[in-house]
Structure 1
C-alpha cells in the first residue's frame, strides 16, 4: 500500500528507462488505484504490470474486491497471490490462494504465488514441511501445463520489512525444496520450467549472490522496489 497515482506515475517516469532490461523480465506490481496510470505510463517500455491481489470470483456481491476479468481487460499481465501480509492480516487461506491461482490462469494472467514461514516455524525446524504443504495446496488441481505458467515466490515472513534476509544458502535450500515438490507431483521437466523467486529484503547488495543460486530464478522485491536502488537489482549482472 504505497504511492498514490501521481506518485506512481512520477516513479515510473524516473525508473522506466533505468529498470528496463533486455536480459531479465521486470514487472511492477502496484495497488489497484495505480494500475491504469501505471499501465499508460509504461506502454512500450518493456516493463510488465501486475496487481497485488484479486478475488477468485468473476463478479458478485463482494464489495471492495477486484476480479480477474477486470484486471485482464485493463491489460494487467501478472498478479501477486497469497502474499504473507494477505495471509496474516486478511485471513487468506491456502484454499483461497488455490482458487485465485486457478482463476488467474483461466483468464490468462500469470499468478505469482507466494509461500513462506514465520520465525517460530523456522525455529521449530518445520520450514521445509510447511513450504511443501503450501505449494501442494496452492497448485492443487492444476494441470502440468498450467503449473509451468505459475511463478512461485518464497518469502520468509521473518525477513519481510525487517531488514533481515535469509542467507543465500537458506534461500536456496527452500527454493530447491519447492522445485523438488513440484517435480514429485508434476515431473522433473515441469519443475525445471517453473520460475521460483526469493522475496525478503532483496537489495542491490545481495541480489547477485541470491540470484547465483541454482534454484533462485529472480526476486519478489519489496522495500527496495520503492527506491532508485531497484535498478541495481535489475542490473545485478553488471
Structure 2
C-alpha cells in the first residue's frame, strides 16, 4: 500500500478565534481533496477548530504534548487532553522545540509513545541545521534523529515523519530537489528496515513550502506531503498547496 498523502499546517503561535474564518473558507473550497488535510493550531484553538471542522475532511492536531498523562507539569498539555478536545494528531520534535526547549531525541520518543497510547498520530520532525548541512553531516544527523525519536511500535497508522531542514524554516530558502530526495530516500530505507510497514509511513517535507514551489516538491520521490508553516495560515495559500498535492 502506498503512503497516504497529507497536507499538514502548523500555525505555531499564531491565531485567535477570529482566524477560524479561514477554516470555513478552506473546508468550503476543498470538500473532498485527494489527500488528508490537517491543521495544528495553538492549543487554545483546538477545541473550537475541531468543533467547527466536524463532519468535514479537516483534521485538527496539537503542536506538542507531555510524555506523562497527568501531573504537576504547569503549562504542559498531555496527549490524552489533546485527544479529549478533538485532536487526532500532534506535532513532536519540531526544531523550534528542540532548540528553544532543549528537547532530546529520547524525550521526543517518549512523547510519541504517549501520543500513540492516547490514540493520536505522532508527526515526528527531524532536520539538520545549516552548520550541519555545510559540514556534510546531514544524513548522519537525520539517521540519528530517526533512530532516537521514533519509538518501537510506530506504524503507518500512528506515525508520520516530517523532514524540516532547520535552515529552510521560514527563511524562503529550500534545499535542492536532489537534496530533498536524498534525505527522503534515507528515511524511507531506515523506516522500511526497522518497521514492518515502514515503507508505508508518510514522509512530509517542510521548510518554506508555498503555492509556487509545492507541485515541484511533491513530484520528488518519497515526498508524500508537506508540513507547512506560514502558508497554512491563509485558506487561499494552503488550499493551493492541497490542490498541488492532490494533482
**Normalised TM-score (structure 1):** 0.94
Aligned residues: 232
Tell me which of 11, 14, 18 is aligned to 1:6. 18
Answer yes or no: is the 8 Å Cα contact 1:19–1:26 preserved in 2: no
Output the CA distance in 2 between the equivalents of 1:60 and 1:82.
21
1:167-188 per-position Cα deviation (integer Å, ceiling 9, x unaligned): 222111101111111123235x
1:198-224 per-position Cα deviation (integer Å, ceiling 9, x unaligned): 000011111111111121100001111
- The match for 2:167 is 158
Higher RCO (CA-CA < 8 Å; seq separation 6+): 2
- The match for 2:7 is none
Answer yes or no: is the 8 Å Cα contact 1:199–1:220 preserved in 2: yes
Give the drift of 1:95: 1.0
* Secondary structure class of the residue paired with 2:91: strand
Tell me which of 97, 105, 111 is aligned to 2:116. 105
- The match for 2:37 is 26
1:108-161 per-position Cα deviation (integer Å, ceiling 9, x unaligned): 100000000000000000100000000000124x13xx3323100000000001
Answer yes or no: is the 8 Å Cα contact 1:19–1:230 preserved in 2: no
Output the CA distance in 1 between the equivalents of 2:178 and 2:67.
35
Larger strand share, 1 or 2: 2
Change beyond 3 A, Cα 1:160–1:55? same
Tell me which of 149, 155, 169 is aligned to 1:147. 155
Output the CA distance in 2 between the equivalents of 1:13 and 1:230.
13
Answer yes or no: is the 8 Å Cα contact 2:65–2:77 preserved in 1: yes
- The match for 1:231 is 239
- The match for 2:198 is 191
- The match for 1:77 is 88
Give the drift of 1:107: 1.2
Give the drift of 1:21: 3.5
**Normalised TM-score (structure 2):** 0.90
Answer yes or no: is the 8 Å Cα contact 2:105–2:145 preserved in 1: yes
Give the drift of 1:14: 2.3
1:38-81 per-position Cα deviation (integer Å, ceiling 9, x unaligned): 11111112110011111110000000111011111112100000
Answer yes or no: is the 8 Å Cα contact 1:20–1:26 preserved in 2: no
Answer yes or no: is the 8 Å Cα contact 2:51–2:86 preserved in 1: no
Q: What is the aligned-residue RMSD (CA, Å)?
A: 1.3
Structure 2 unpaired stretches of 5+: 1-12
Matched, 1:88 2:88: no
Greater CA drift, 146-155 or 121-130: 146-155
Structure 1 unpaired stretches of 5+: none
Output the CA distance in 2 between the equivalents of 1:53 and 1:21.
28
* Secondary structure class of the residue paired with 1:161: coil
